[in-house]
Chains A and B, each alone.
Chain A
C-alpha cells in the first residue's frame, strides 16, 4: 500500500494525551487474528440513533469500526494521515483537481465489491448530511473502476483530512437506496466489524468481520458491545463490577473518583474547547480596551481548577480541527493592567453590568468567571439555557459574554472557522464591529484560498491571534479532557487524539 501522507502543520507538537498519543502501553504479544470469545463492553454516555456513517456524532465510535474511509488518521493520530481505501492520489498544481486511486482488495461485509462507483454513490448521501466535509468540492466523478476524480471550485488542502473523517465512511449505498438513509439495515461497510444487532436506547453489538480486507489490521477482539448508560454513577458501578470494560466520560469527578483502583487504566484526550466570547457590538464593550481589560481580569488557571479540577488544559487555542492552532497568547492575568485599561477608556468597573449566556454543559465555569469579575466590581448576570438554545442566542448576538463549546468533530480548522467565526456563519460566535468582522472574514477567505495545509495553518494562527490578542473578542479558556477508564487487561487501546474515538482494530486482551 502506498501511503498518502499529509502533515497537519507544525503546531501540533504539544500532544494532548497524558500518555503516549491516544494509546495505552501494550504488554505481551498481540494475537494475529480474532480471539474467540473476547468481548469488550463499552459505555456510551449518549444514545445513538442511526448507524449510517454520516448520521450522528454520538454514533461515531461505532462508525470507526464498521466503515472504512479513503484515508485514516493512522492509529488515531491526525498528524499521520495515511491511505485506507485510497492507495495513491495526485493533486493538480492549482489544487483544483484531485485524482484518487482506490484499492481493488476491499469488499463490503455483505460480500459486494467496493469500487470507485460505490464510493461516489455513498458520497452522494454524505454530501447531503455533512456538507462541510466537501468544502470547495464542485463535483466528483468516477474515472475508472478504481479511480475517483474530485473537481474543486476552490482549493481545499484539508480535503484529505475530511475524507479521513469517520462521517465520510463508505457504506453500501445500494442498501441505503433500498432501505432509506435513516435505516440501520443499510449499515453495511467494509470495516473491521459488522453490526450484529441494535436495541434502541440500550445496546449495539458488533462482531469482528471474518473477511476484513486489510490483512495487517485484522481485529483481535471478537465482540464489541456499546451500552448506553447515561448516568456516570451507574457507569462507574458497572466498571467496578466488570459489567463494562471501558468507561467514556467527560466528567472529571468520575475520572477523579476512579483514580488508583486496581485493574484500571486511564487515558485523557482533549477534544473540545470551551471559550468565553466577548460581544464587541454592545455598550462599553465596543471599546477594545474594555474587552482587553476583561481578558486581564480572568485567571484562566483558576477557572480550570474550579471547573475541571486540574484535569483540564489551559492553552491559547480555540480553533480546533484535526490539529491545534495554539498561538502565544498576548493575554495575561493582570488586574492592575485591566483597571488601567478601563481608566484609560473612561469606564468605571462598577458601571459595567454584563449579560452572560451560559449553558448546562458549562455550568460552574460561568459562575467562576462571574466571581472573578465581581472582585473588580463588574456585575455579570448569568442566564443559563440548554446547549442548543444558548447556541441560538449567541448566534443571534444577544449577549455580552457567552460561553460555548466548539469541538473537533469538524475535520479541518477552516471548517471550524467558517462554521463559528465568520460573520455569515450560521453558528456565529464572533461579534465585533463591522470593521473588525471584516478583518476576520478576510483572513478566513485567505485561509480558504490556500493550496497547502502548511499555508492554511499559518493563516489559521493569524485568525486566532487577531481574535484573541488584537480584537479581544474571546478569552482562551481551559479545555476539558475526555476521560477513558478501562480494564487494564485491554492492551493497545488506540484513541483518536482529536475526536476521541477508539479504534478497536488494534486492541487485544492480555493473557
Chain B
C-alpha cells in the first residue's frame, strides 16, 4: 500500500510539469507581447527590448519554461506580466485557502444532503418521494448556476435582507455561494447514489443477507451502501478538485477571492506566470484528490486493496507459493 502511495507521489511532479508545460506552450501561441502589457503609455522599442532582455522573452520557449520551473523549485513564482508587476505568490497564494474552504464546505453539504436522499430514492423506488426528489433533481440540474446564484441573491440578499450579497469573510457570507454550488451537485449526487444503490440492492449478496435475517437497516447501510460507495467516492473526489478551480461563476457573482476567477483574469491578460502558478496548484489539488480517492477505494473495497497489493513482485511470489 505504501509502495502504491509512494509511486503515485513520485508520478505527481511529472504530471505537474507536463500540465504546466502544455499550458505554457498554449498561452504562448497568442500574438500578445507581455512587454506591451507591462509598459504603460508611450513607450519606446528600446524599452520593449530592455524588458524582453530582463524577462528573457527572446529566449526559446523551452528555455523560458526551464527558467520558470527552476525558479518555482526555489520558491519563486515570479512577477505578473501586468503593469504593476506584482509578485505572483502574493496574488495566488491567499486565494488557495478560500477556494479550498468553498470546495470543502460545498462537498460536505452535497454529501450530507445528497447521500440520504439518494438512498431514500433507491430504497423507496417509484414511490412519491422518489418521483418528487427525481423531479426536483432534474430541475436543479438543468438551471444554470449563475441564475440560481442571482435568484438566491435577490431573494435572501435584496428582498429578505437575511444574508450578505457579496464577499467571503464570515460564515454568513458562505451560505449563498455554497448553496449555489451545491444545488446542481446534489442533483447529480442523488441520481448517482440512487442508481448505484439500486445496482447493489439487486445483487445476490444482499438477497443472501436478507435471507439470513439481517435487519433492513444493516442490509442497506452496511452491505448495500458500502458497496455503492465506489462510484460516489470517485464523484466526490473529482467534484472537489473541480470546485477548487472551477467555481468561476459563483466566485464572480458573490465576489469571492478564489483561484478560478483569478486564473481567468490572468488568461485574459496573457499573464503567463500567474496562469502557470494557478495551473500548478490546481493540478496539484487534482492529483492529491485522486490519490485520496484511490486510498479510500482500498478502505471501502477489499478487492481494490488486494489488486494493488497483488501487483508487486513480492505479492506475486507469495501468491505463487500459496498456489504451490
Q: Across the interface, do A55 and B83 meet the contact criterion of CB distance under 8 Å? A: yes
Using known A-B contacts A56-B82, A135-B42, determine if residue A241 contacts B158 with beta carbons closer than 8 Å. yes
Q: Across the interface, do B257 and A199 meet the contact criterion of CB distance under 8 Å? A: yes
A427: contacting residue among B36, B80, B91, B257, CB under 8 A: B36
A residues less than 8 Å from B45 (CB atoms): 424, 426
B residues less than 8 Å from A470 (CB atoms): none
Docked CA distance A183–B84 (Å): 10
Q: What's the least CB distance linking A241 to chain B, in Å? A: 6
Question: Please, could you name 16 A-B residue pairs with CB atoms under 8 Å apart, sorted by A?
Answer: A59-B84, A129-B40, A132-B41, A132-B42, A135-B42, A183-B87, A202-B168, A203-B167, A229-B166, A233-B150, A233-B153, A234-B253, A237-B154, A238-B165, A391-B32, A427-B36
Interface residues of B (CB under 8 A from A): 30-33, 36-37, 39-45, 47-48, 79-80, 82-87, 90-91, 94-95, 98, 150, 153-154, 157-158, 161, 164-169, 252-258, 261-262, 265, 268-270
Q: Which of B84, B254, B256, B261 has the most CB of A within 10 A?
A: B84
Q: Which of B86, B161, B269 has the most CB of A within 10 A?
A: B86
Using known A-B contacts A200-B257, A233-B253, A410-B41, determine if residue A49 contacts B84 with beta carbons closer than 8 Å. yes
B255: contacting residue among A135, A182, A229, A396, CB under 8 A: A229
Q: Across the interface, do A181 and B41 meet the contact criterion of CB distance under 8 Å? A: no
A56: contacting residue among B41, B79, B84, CB under 8 A: B84
B253: contacting residue among A182, A231, A243, A396, CB under 8 A: A231
B residues less than 8 Å from A182 (CB atoms): 79, 84-87, 90
Q: Across the interface, do A130 and B262 meet the contact criterion of CB distance under 8 Å? A: no
4 tightest A-B CB contacts, nearest first: A201-B257, A132-B41, A55-B84, A50-B84
Q: What's the least CB distance linking B250 to chain A, in Å? A: 10
Additional pairs, 11, CB under 8 Å, beyond known A56-B84, A234-B153, A389-B32 = A49-B84, A131-B43, A200-B90, A201-B257, A243-B165, A386-B268, A387-B268, A389-B31, A392-B33, A393-B31, A424-B45
Q: Across the interface, do B43 and A132 meet the contact criterion of CB distance under 8 Å? A: yes
Q: Does A227 make an interface contact (CB < 8 A)?
A: yes
Using known A-B contacts A201-B262, A238-B165, determine if residue A415 contacts B90 with beta carbons closer than 8 Å. no
Q: Does A57 make an interface contact (CB < 8 A)?
A: yes
Which residue of B is nearest A242, CB measured?
B161
Q: Does A501 make an interface contact (CB < 8 A)?
A: no
Q: What's the least CB distance linking A456 to chain B, in Å? A: 14
Using known A-B contacts A237-B154, A391-B36, determine if residue A419 contacts B87 with beta carbons closer than 8 Å. no
Count of chain A to chain B residue pairs whose CB atoms are closer than 8 Å in the complex? 152
Interface residues of A (CB under 8 A from B): 47-50, 52, 55-57, 59, 129-133, 135, 167, 180-183, 199-203, 227-231, 233-235, 237-238, 240-241, 243, 386-389, 391-393, 395-396, 409-410, 415, 418-419, 424-427
Docked CA distance A229–B157 (Å): 15
Q: What's the least CB distance linking A270 to chain B, in Å? A: 20
Which residue of B is nearest A48, CB measured?
B84
Docked CA distance A59–B45 (Å): 27
A residues less than 8 Å from B85 (CB atoms): 50, 55, 129, 181-182
B residues less than 8 Å from A241 (CB atoms): 157-158, 161, 165
Docked CA distance A238–B167 (Å): 11
B41: contacting residue among A234, A387, A389, A419, CB under 8 A: A419
Q: Across the interface, do B169 and A202 meet the contact criterion of CB distance under 8 Å? A: yes
Q: What's the least CB distance linking A280 to chain B, in Å? A: 22
Using known A-B contacts A241-B157, A243-B166, A389-B31, determine if residue A418 contacts B82 with beta carbons closer than 8 Å. no
Docked CA distance A115–B44 (Å): 31
Q: What's the least CB distance linking B134 to chain A, in Å? A: 31
